[in-house]
Amino acid sequence: MESEKFTPKKIRVSIGSAIVLGLLGGRIDAKPTTAYLLTYHKGKCTANCMFCPQARSSGGRADMLSRVTWPEFPLTDVVEGIKEAVKKGELKRVCIQALNYPKVFEDLFSIVSLIRSSVNVPISVSCQPLSRENLEKLKIAGVQRVGIPLDAATKEIFDKVKGRLANGPYIWEEQIKILLEAVKIFGENKVSTHLIVGLGEAEKDMIQRIQWCTDNGIFPGLFAFTPINGTALEKLPQPPLDSYRRIQLGHYLITRKISKFENFKFDKEGKIIDFGVRYELLEDFIESGEPFLTSGCPNCNRPYYNEKPGGPLYNYPRPLTKAEVKEIKNLLLKDAEMRP
């Protein structure tokens, strides 16, 4: 059969997922609730995103994505591990991330088909689909959700870090177009994108992009920029924690339709000074801890994707402690303009 002809023998698995799947020994304090897989390819991605160790001109390691290590395993062993972990209730989703290379979609269709024929688990695919036809094929193959990364909040930053100015293949207008096309095929809130905080945008830019995504039925997953050795942006620092917390809170309010970009207020630098909701409500949301959890597909917690386990944690992969909530509350409400 054609699907068997193209079935890849190996696939990369995030190290935390590999432990949950029984492929590696080890202890982890926050287990991933999604199995994170990465298509295996000898060589780099054909794209050239300046923050990514997989980029065409990057000197980063081939087994790295963000700050996570992705060792390779036989695909059949991985599928067996997924089957057992789902049976035990340890896994709720599979997320397959794809590099750009010739025949990547043959690999994706085969991997999805093999998983679907072995275990009943929701599958997300994060990729650059290039065409409506590929999106339709992913849907037919059994993919529940698709993620198409914007990464940048604005066209200018997009062009600089992954488009024309980075010698990359991506065009902002085409990326927007294929995202909207994906919503038509998969349905509202079944399409995700990634937004990386800390690439040079103002908080206002990010909140406006989150609102655009929400208005168009696209769920924006938030990431904190993470400098990785060997990448073009290895010297760029991570975003200030207080700024990231404000954006997380804004993301929570907008994606849950509690507030809107139009109701926010910003200072002259684009910093959030008003979220458009009453202070008492804002306190309640902060004290719940929910805005600061990892955002993404259902049951995606991405442990330590942006940070070292020792912290500071930008995205929490598990419920926050009272001490962590108190620290965040003090951080967010330290400015006089944030208080009533």
Q: Which domains are delineated in the chain?
A: 8-338 (3.20.20.70)
- pLDDT mean over 50-77: 80
Question: At how many degrees (to 10) do helices 322-332 and 279-288 cross?
Answer: 140
Across the range 32-60, mean pLDDT stands at 87
Q: How far apart are CA 38 and CA 29, in angstroms?
A: 23
pLDDT > 70? residue 62 = no
Average pLDDT over residues 157-185: 96
pLDDT at 4: 46
Provide the total of helices (H) and of strands (E) in the chain, helices listed first.
Answer: 11, 12
Residue 184 binned pLDDT confidence (cut-offs 50, 70, 90): very high
**pLDDT score for 63:** 60
Q: Encoding tokens for residue 150? A: 């914007």
Answer yes or no: is pLDDT of 1 > 60: no
Closest CA to 34 of 93, 120, 99, 106: 93
Q: State the chain's mean pLDDT as an integer.
A: 92
CA distance 58 to 106: 25
Residue 65: per-residue pLDDT? 66
pLDDT over threshold 80, residue 254: yes
Residues 6+ apart with CB under 8 A from 67: 226, 228, 304, 305, 306, 307, 308
> How far is CA 287 from its chain centroid?
24
DSSP state of 291: G
Average pLDDT over residues 68-93: 94
- What is the reported pLDDT for 130? 80
Using 50, 70 and 90 to split pLDDT, how confident is the model at 229? Answer: confident
Question: Please, what is the angle between helix 279-288 and helix 241-255, to 10°?
Answer: 100
* The model's pTM: 0.94
At 27, the pLDDT band (50, 70, 90 cuts) reads confident
pLDDT for 66: 66
Q: What is the mean pLDDT of residues 261-275?
A: 97
Tell which wins on pLDDT, 85 or 61.
85
Closest residue by Cα to residue 170 from 41, 300, 65, 52? 52
- Mean pLDDT, residues 32-44 taken together: 90
195-215 confidence digits (pLDDT tens): 999 999 999 999 999 999 999
- How would you label 253-265 residue by residue, b for 16+ Cβ within 10 Å and e otherwise? bbbeeebebeebe
Sign for the CA dihedral angle at 239, 244, 246, 251 comes to positive
Sign of the C-alpha dihedral, residues 45, 48, 54, 60?
positive
Contacts (Cβ under 8 Å, ≥6 apart) of 284: none
Tell me: pLDDT of 175 over 60: yes
